[in-house]
Structure 1
């Protein structure tokens, strides 16, 4: 269940900094990450993180979470995420939520995970998808399929295409009694994701025999 940021290349999307004197340095570090020059990126992230820059604190946490240029260390990752969480930095809230959801370093606690995802969802598209998953399955609180549908949709609209795929799956499989199976609605959302080149949605449309002509070259 890999629902935290899977590769550091996505830092540029999920950890975009606000206006500050650190912007230029942080953007430079993100470019170094995209070039897999992790040692040089860490040399920029670390001093800014130590000086209280939330995006850099998050980035250091992710480096240790994934073991990029450093030995993977979930305790250190958690500590860096926590520093950013204390400044309400949404990507860190999301990733800490995943640690609680999966029981990485901390004891598994879906109640805490759900709360972190909910808080982060105001500013973070992936957190909206994670919060929707909690709502869909009742992780850490009450199940609410209607709200899950809503959060999956806005996650997709915000650019996190997996949200549309998850929404399509609800209609594809059905969630009775609240949501009966509706293949047409499922296909609508699979197409939305497929048009953004989401491979799993394309494959499911093929399985259903519903892949539109304009997507057959994908």
Structure 2
């Protein structure tokens, strides 16, 4: 039961951008239009080495916005931008290696790029790295490292990771079992106003833990 709960939460965090257009959150697609409408300028800037323009051009090719969709070309530009240390592009380089879109699927390469972005405190990449450590995808399974990265995302304000960190403390997975720390992180997640769904879920976890502690002390 615990294993399935962990797998479910990690899986939900890893694919938390539910409404996707070819893997890019739907809300983000509209932001592509300026770069993709001015595609010639974007191409020019990308060829001049502008890492942001390279990422924008990759997005245009990845989604087929303003240009014919071409995953191989998208991958080329994501990687060019990523090689310049741009965290969003490092994350997307990890993403394409994880999914095999435009490149041959390679979980080790996926993890390598994700970790570079995570080290720059890019939250989607931190979530991915924590998940990959938990599942042993592209790296040796390591619950302690998974907990470390989960805490890092939680401290940066990610409500899903705050809830997950609470669960790790409740069950002693990768961290010492500590009900008070579990309650603290559940409470942090439950107080989030920017993600009410996660807040309500965390409140349920907190209520369940409180009830469990009451029963144990009767």
Normalising by structure 2, we get a TM-score of 0.68
For residue 77 of structure 1, the aligned residue among 50, 74, 77 is 74
Q: What is the rounded CA distance, in whole Å, between the counterparts of 1:183 and 1:201 in structure 2?
A: 20
Whether contact under 8 Å (2:172, 2:178) holds in the other structure is no
Distance 1:47 1:119, change over 3 A: same
1:62 and 2:59 aligned:
yes
Alignment pair present for 1:2 and 2:2: no
CA change 1:39–1:56 in 2 (3 A) is closer
Structure 1: stretches of 5+ with no match in the other structure: 12-32, 212-218
Say whether residues 1:197 and 2:194 are aligned partners.
yes
Q: Name 2:130's counterpart in structure 1.
A: 132
| Structure number with bigger Rg | 2
Per-residue displacement from partner, 1:21-73 (whole Å, max 9, x unpaired)?
Answer: xxxxxxxxxxxx54955544545433211211011101211232234344433
State which of 160, 165, 168 in structure 2 corresponds to 1:167. 165
Contact kept, 8 Å, 2:186 with 2:205, in 1: the verdict is: no
Q: Is the 8 A contact 2:165 2:185 kept in 1?
A: yes
Structure ranking higher in helix proportion: 2
Q: Paired residue for 2:4?
A: none
**RMSD of aligned alpha carbons:** 3.3
* SS of equivalent residue, structure 1 residue 210: helix
Kindly state the Cα deviation for residue 171 of structure 1 after the two structures are TM-superposed.
4.3
1:153-164 correspondence runs (5 A) = 153-164=151-162
For the pair 1:98 / 2:95, whether they are aligned, the reply is: yes
State whether structure 2 residue 116 is matched by structure 1 residue 116: no
Counterpart for residue 215 of structure 1: none
**Structure 2 Cα separation of the partners of residues 74 and 145 of structure 1:** 34
